[in-house]
Amino acid sequence: FLSFFLSFFSSLRDKKSSFVTRSLLFRKRERDGEEEMSWRSHGTTTNDSLIDALEANRLIKTHERVGKAMRRVDRKWYVLETDEEEAYRDHPVGIGSNATISAPHMHAMCLELARERLFDGGDDDTEGKRVLDVGSGSGYLVACFAEMLALDAKKKKKNNNNNNNNKVVGIEHIDSLVNQSMENLKNDGKTEMMKSGLITITKGDGRLGCEKFAPYALIHVGAAAPEVPPALLSQLASPGRMIIPVGGEYESQSLMVIDRNEDGETTYKDEMGVVYVPLTSEKHQLER
């Protein structure tokens, strides 16, 4: 009888400790003294309802940049047909080959971080902007980046279909996901962006980047690396920004924002704690 109560209270203590730990981790995600409302931005049955929730919870801070771009990319086309009911829920969804499409709140956060570099630098954009999405998976963020650039070009009265200076490159090492992402983009009405060269999807080891179109004003990495891959750093423009989760599989991970200025000086900022699938070899991913 005594041992039962000792075991019971020990269990309560462990649960309390676990709860406190989770609470502390959640509070680490606070910025500017306010909760980010992560995991609470569920939509209903439309893409607009999802974006409405992300904007209401301040995860999308710029309606004209990130909000409009995400409204032009319907998430239902980037999940498997069997998971369409989950398309507008604020959580990750499996897309096959042990890969996932990240939760919408993480996409919104990363797009806002990207927007700061791509559009708030005051440059004249005469040479265009190049973006690399490593581990592009479903193609969702590639489409969002492309829409951000297209909206910016329209604002400046440029025609992206006749101007290949702007470019978004998605690199993915799983053949089936490369093909799947291109089909997703077509289904979502991005065929002209692919034909014009604004969007390019290529197969390759994302840890090595894509030298062909380097340097990049923005590099986004959609999986966690144990350390920042040197090849990606070498392909980052000056000025440029890299957004990358850093940390081992099943270990603590941080979303790092790496900025390089016009003089080539590089700074690192730990933006928040995250949990991502690993940036790894094709073989290891398929065997996980």
pLDDT at position 288, please? Answer: 77
Query: Would you call 132 helix, strand, or coil by DSSP?
Result: strand
CA dihedral 195, 198, 200, 206 (to 10 degrees): 180
The answer, yes or no, to whether residue 167 has pLDDT greater than 90, is yes
pLDDT-derived band at 33, boundaries 50, 70, 90: very low
Return the DSSP state at 160.
Answer: G
Residue 71 pLDDT more than 60? yes
* 6-12 mean pLDDT: 41
Q: Which residues are the active-site residues?
A: 102
Give the model confidence (pLDDT) of 91-109 as tens digits: 999 999 999 999 999 999 9
- Tens of pLDDT along 192-251? 999 999 999 999 999 999 999 999 999 999 999 999 999 999 999 999 999 999 999 888
Question: Residue 165 — very low, low, confident or very high, per pLDDT cuts 50/70/90?
Answer: confident
Q: What is the DSSP string of 14-57?
A: HHHHHHHHHHHHHHTT-BTTB---TT-----SSHHHHHHHHHHT
User: In this structure, what DSSP letter does residue 97 have?
Assistant: T
